[in-house]
Amino acid sequence: MSEDILAKIVRMRKADIEKLGLNFGIDIPEKRRVGHTEFLGNAGAILEVKRASPSKGDIAPDLDPLELANTYAEAHAQAISVLTEGNFFKGSLHDLIAVADLMELRRSQKLHACAVLRKDFLLYEDEIDIAYRCGADAVLLIARILDDEQLVKMAKRAQSFDMQAFVEVREKDDFRKLQIVTEALGDAASKTIVAGVNSRDLATFHTDPLVPASVRNKLPAKAVFESGIHSAADADYARSLGFTGILVGEAVAKNPPLAKDVVSAFEGGCENAKGKFWKKFAERRDDRRTVQAEAVQVGAVADPSKACASRENRPMVKICGITREEDGLLAAELGADMLGFVFSKTKRLTTEEFVRSFAAKIRTVRTPESTPLLVGVITETDSPEGQAAIKLAQEGVLDAVQFHGIGAGAEYGDLAHYCAVRVGEESDFDKVSALRTHGEPRILLDAKVEGIPGGTGKQIPESLLREKAGDIPLWLAGGITPENVSAICGKFKPELVDVSSGVESEPGIKSPEKLQALFRELNK
């Protein structure tokens, strides 16, 4: 197996330490010469002095760390993260010392001063001492590269200097380690430990904004959303999940004027219904993957190489166009994760009264964990049908609204929702990119047929998906049937499939036989 990026960084760093020492050959102060600012004492943004990364190469190779740090402080960032890793990020302890000295100067001038984080792949307790002497107020401790004992020792060393330990978690075992270090510090943990979850997998450097959503409820009160913040809308999304902070690197290092917008968007936001929906969806996705993985381990799946359900990417399933109670209840019994109700003038049009009645019924007969998420699909925001769905979502009758072929609009930014784009040609992916820029973590792709908003039975051209979808986690709709769902799963590994006409006997009427056949294919 080839060496992943994180392992390579750690290996090369150990070699440098063996050759140059823990100070990497740099003269550092014999003792700390600056004051202290609590790391993330208030909710806000942590902005990064970052020249390069393993995934992007050079980002801002000629940046002036003092000029950039001053820009961040003027934007009222809560903290500045200084990369001190040299091989892949082109940082150094020189940068850390310079930024800490600048913040001390700003404090002396009664100007806003940020806390300073040393961000590196720290491995040894004595590196905490060095960070302290260089002026850091906090240190990053990556749980994935430290064993239990070393993580506890390093966190305690940070606590002895009144520094915060910014513990980064992502993998399942990381949360066990976070619990251990929290218990080891006892009452001091609430002041010493800040947890961060990285949307970027440090082994592959791919990002997924739903990873922080899936684990936010497992983290302590002070928690940071790391990576993947490219715009003010992304910052607002992170805040909607209930995070105390965001860590932003590439976007502001390349474009320093963006710092003010990112800080303002995060500080002006709050946890809301949109964030709660994404947390609920992401938690359910991860729970399903865990169950599937356990089924494979105990031999419940006869041939893991061929079965859809045995793979981690077995899709979530939305059955759309529900107009009858029996259809929705059967879909839920078979394992649907979401049910869609169309609030648009089509043959699958539903009513507010039916959805209210159905929501009350299904939430009575099923547990909260086994009740599918209920979604209202709209094609217009100002039509009576669209307004009815929006009202139901605002009241919590519906879990979310699907804006199909339209954007959510600023007035509905806090509403629990996601967007769907009709795709038939390359230019349609420009709409997908625009929605992602506006903080949408997922977009449903549906086949485009002129004059028909959805439920067409047509598929998105395979060549178009292969060429344009890239590594985006796919939500797919259009022409999915019991006969082709396994092939679609194998080719595109969608995170979610949205099925409507493919399991109908006529528009709006689901066929029990086709529903059962669909889930048989998924659960082989």
- The pLDDT tens digits of the residues spanning 152-184 come to 999 999 999 999 999 999 999 999 999 999 999
Q: How far, in Å, are 216, 223, 225 from residue 239 at the CA level?
A: 11, 11, 9
- Is the CATH number of domain 38-271 3.40.50.720? no
> In one letter, which amino acid is 504?
E
* Spatial separation of the C-alpha atoms in residues 126 and 189, rounded to whole Å: 21
- The pLDDT tens digits of the residues spanning 105-163 come to 999 999 999 999 999 999 999 999 999 999 999 999 999 999 999 999 999 999 999 99
Beta strands in 325-474 (DSSP E): 338-342, 373-378, 400-404, 417-423, 443-447
Contact between residue 304 and residue 310 where contact means Cβ atoms under 8 Å apart: yes
Inform me whether the pLDDT recorded for 304 exceeds 80: no
Give percent of the chain with pLDDT exceeding 70: 94
**Residues β-bridged to residue 82:** 49, 118
In 3D space, the residue among 115, 112, 4, 96 whose CA is nearest the CA of residue 50 turns out to be 96
- The pLDDT tens digits of the residues spanning 254-296 come to 999 999 999 999 999 999 999 999 999 999 999 888 877 666 6
* Spatial separation of the C-alpha atoms in residues 68 and 470, rounded to whole Å: 33
Which residue, chain included where needed, has tokens 């993330």?
A: 40
In 3D space, the residue among 138, 135, 190 whose CA is nearest the CA of residue 166 turns out to be 138
**Average model confidence (pLDDT) across the chain:** 92
Taking residues 85-94, report their average pLDDT: 97
Task: Give the domain ranges of the chain.
Answer: 38-271, 275-522
Q: Is 414 helix (H, G, I), strand (E, B) or coil?
A: coil
Task: Establish whether domains 38-271 and 275-522 are of one fold.
Answer: yes
Contact between residue 195 and residue 220 where contact means Cβ atoms under 8 Å apart: yes
Give the Cβ contact number of residue 496 at 10 Å.
20
Give the containing element (helix H, strand E) for 224: strand 223-226
Phi, psi of 446, rounded to the nearest 5 degrees: -120, 150
CATH topology of domain 275-522: TIM Barrel (3.20.20)
Token pair, residue 493, equals 């590994």
